[in-house]
Amino acid sequence: MSAEHWNSGSVLIQHFRQLGATEIDTSPWIRVGIEEDSSGLAPTGTSKLELRELRMRTSVPPAPMCPKTTRVTATLCLIASVSKEGSASLTIMSSKISHDVPFGDKFLVQEKVELTPRCAGETGVDLRISGRVVFLQTCGMLQSRINSNIMSQLEATAEALASRLRLLTPVDWAVDEEEPENSEDVRTEYVWELQRRVTAWSSVWHAPFLPHDGFKRLRWVSPDYKPHALQFDGACPKRLARCEVPPLCPPHGWMSLGDWQPERSAKTTCDGWQHAVDFYSAGQLWCKSPFALHVRRRRWVCRYRRI
């Protein structure tokens, strides 16, 4: 977060781009004179304060008299602190002004993101996101509508940021992708089941359907998201995508020792699902909770014995 130069992999840059921001430009950090320790944090019991300006162009939700995009200037404040007990916390505050929307110079949109450690004995951190609209001048009869529209947008952006921060958690949620060694007479086969939903809040899941999903639209794929070697030759892709269990034939010369079963663990839901923003290969980018995420996957397993 406090790197001098934010590249395309920076958390906040990815967050802003996910929200449709372009032409992102950052100014150098202005750092308050507190000497850091070797970890990059302030000394125990103190805080480190950093400020920087961010300029970008963002999309504007459809509204009367509003352009499709607007220039935005944001002031960011980053506070990293260490309590007397030695626990570290992080607070990110932002104040944004939109230059091209009606009345845009008459109000500020302010957000606050707080990451604090949980109580002793508990793992992880607590996340709190809050926001408000500060009116520098009155906007007359439109002030109430401006406030309600922006607060509803802040709720959606907060959920998107929470989902992105969740991807930074340790690799606790990843399915163990190490496959056990096969003996000469017994082998284990795996297949991934992939699904996507239309919106992050829909309760109905479908086989991947977007043009860039490619082979993933088959629903049943190999670990590298390509057509599985055991799929029936010449099978209709749409028919494969409608199957509720792996539509795979046994390897030649082998007999199954049971039915295909989805793998379940503490790293998956009770049905074996993991969720993410997109179909990543890295296990650490998947999580158990479906909150605000568009895609899911689960791995099925079947064991075979040589005939």
Task: Report whether pLDDT(163) > 90.
Answer: no
pLDDT of 52 above 80: yes
- For the chain, what is the mean pLDDT? 82
pLDDT of residue 208: 94
Q: In the chain, which ranges are E strands?
A: 22-26, 30-31, 47-59, 69-82, 88-98, 107-117, 125-135, 186-196, 220-221, 254-256, 261-262, 274-276, 295-306
Look up the pTM and report it. 0.52
Query: What tokens does 186 get?
Result: 């017994």
* Tokens 């990843």 sit on residue: 174
Most trustworthy range by pLDDT among 133-137, 148-152, 154-158, 232-236 = 133-137
Least confident of 13-22, 148-157, 196-205, 232-241: 232-241
What 3-state class would DSSP assign to 144?
Answer: helix
Query: How far apart are the C-alpha atoms of 205 and 199, rounded to whole Å?
Result: 10
Q: Of the candidates 49, 44, 122, which has an alpha carbon nearest to the alpha carbon of residue 83?
A: 44
Q: Are 216 and 191 in contact (CB under 8 A)?
A: no
